[in-house]
Amino acid sequence: MTTAKPGRVLVVGGYGAVGALLVDTLRTWPGQPVVVGGRDAARAARLGGVRLDVTDPADFRRTLTELGDVSVVVMCVEPPDAGIARVCFEQGVHLVDVAATRRLLDDIEDLHEAAADTRATGVLSVGVAPGLTNLLALRAHEAVEGAERIDLTVLLGGGERHGADAVRWTVEHLAEPASPAGPARVGLPGHGTRTAHPFPFSDQHTLPRTLGVERVTTRLCLDSRLLTASLFGLRQATRHPTGRRALTASFRRIHLGSDHFAVRADAYRGRAHTAYALTGREQSRVTALVAAYTTRELLTGTLPPGVHHLEQLPTLAHLPETLAAHDVTLHRLRATNPR
Ligand SMILES: NC(=O)c1ccc[n+]([C@@H]2O[C@H](COP(=O)([O-])OP(=O)(O)OC[C@H]3O[C@@H](n4cnc5c(N)ncnc54)[C@H](OP(=O)(O)O)[C@@H]3O)[C@@H](O)[C@H]2O)c1
Whether residue 3 is contained in a domain is answered as no
pLDDT for 152 beyond 60: yes
The preferred substitution site among 40, 75, 76 for testing ligand 1, maximizing ligand atoms within 8 Å of CB, is 76
pLDDT band at 339 (very low <50, low <70, confident <90, very high): low
pLDDT for 338 beyond 70: no
Cα dihedral across residues 8, 14, 17, 21: positive or negative = positive
Clarify whether residues 276 and 137 are in a common domain.
Answer: yes
Residue 284's closest CA among 8, 9, 10, 23? 23
Clarify whether residues 201 and 325 are in a common domain.
Answer: yes
pLDDT band at 3 (very low <50, low <70, confident <90, very high): very low
Query: What stretches of the chain adopt beta strand conformation (E)?
Result: 8-12, 34-38, 50-51, 70-75, 94-97, 121-124, 149-156, 184-188, 192-198, 215-222, 260-269, 272-281, 306-309, 329-336
Clarify whether residues 105 and 198 are in a common domain.
Answer: no
pLDDT for 1 beyond 50: no
pLDDT for 2 beyond 70: no
Lowest mean pLDDT among 159-163, 183-187, 195-199, 308-312: 159-163
Report whether 190 contacts 262 (CB < 8 A): yes
Clarify whether residues 58 and 146 are in a common domain.
Answer: no
Q: Dmax over Cα atoms in the chain, in whole Å?
A: 62
Residues with CB under 6 A from ligand 1: 12-13, 15-19, 38-40, 52-55, 76-78, 98-100, 127-131, 162-166, 169, 283-284, 287
State the CATH number of the domain containing residue 328.
3.30.360.10
Clarify whether residues 103 and 161 are in a common domain.
Answer: no
pLDDT at 220: 96
pLDDT at 136: 98
Quote the ligand 1 centre to 165 CA distance (angstroms). Answer: 5
Clarify whether residues 133 and 51 are in a common domain.
Answer: no
Quote the ligand 1 centre to 98 CA distance (angstroms). Answer: 9
pLDDT at 98: 98
Which residues constitute the domain of residue 67?
A: 8-127+286-316
Report the distance separating Cα 233 and Cα 161, nearest Å.
22
Clarify whether residues 201 and 95 are in a common domain.
Answer: no
Whether residue 1 is contained in a domain is answered as no
Whether residue 163 is contained in a domain is answered as yes
The preferred substitution site among 18, 81, 218, 289 for testing ligand 1, maximizing ligand atoms within 8 Å of CB, is 18
Clarify whether residues 246 and 259 are in a common domain.
Answer: yes
Read off the pTM: 0.95
Quote the ligand 1 centre to 66 CA distance (angstroms). Answer: 23
Clarify whether residues 211 and 225 are in a common domain.
Answer: yes
Quote the ligand 1 centre to 239 CA distance (angstroms). Answer: 23
Strand order of the sheet with strand 50-51? 50-51, 34-38, 8-12, 70-75, 94-97, 121-124, 306-309
Kindly write down the DSSP assignment for every residue of 92-160, as one continuous string. T-EEEE----HHHHHHHHTTHHHHHHTT-EEEES-SIIIIIHHHHHHHHHHHTTS-SEEEEEEEE-TTS
**Average pLDDT, stretch 309-330?**
98
Clarify whether residues 57 and 167 are in a common domain.
Answer: no
Beta strands at 306-309 and 121-124: parallel, antiparallel or unpaired: parallel
Clarify whether residues 278 and 292 are in a common domain.
Answer: no
End-to-end CA distance of the chain: 52
**How many domains in the chain?**
2
pLDDT tens digits along 47-101: 989 999 999 999 999 999 999 999 999 999 999 999 999 999 999 999 999 999 9
Nearest CA, atom 41, ligand 1: 39
Quote the ligand 1 centre to 123 CA distance (angstroms). Answer: 17
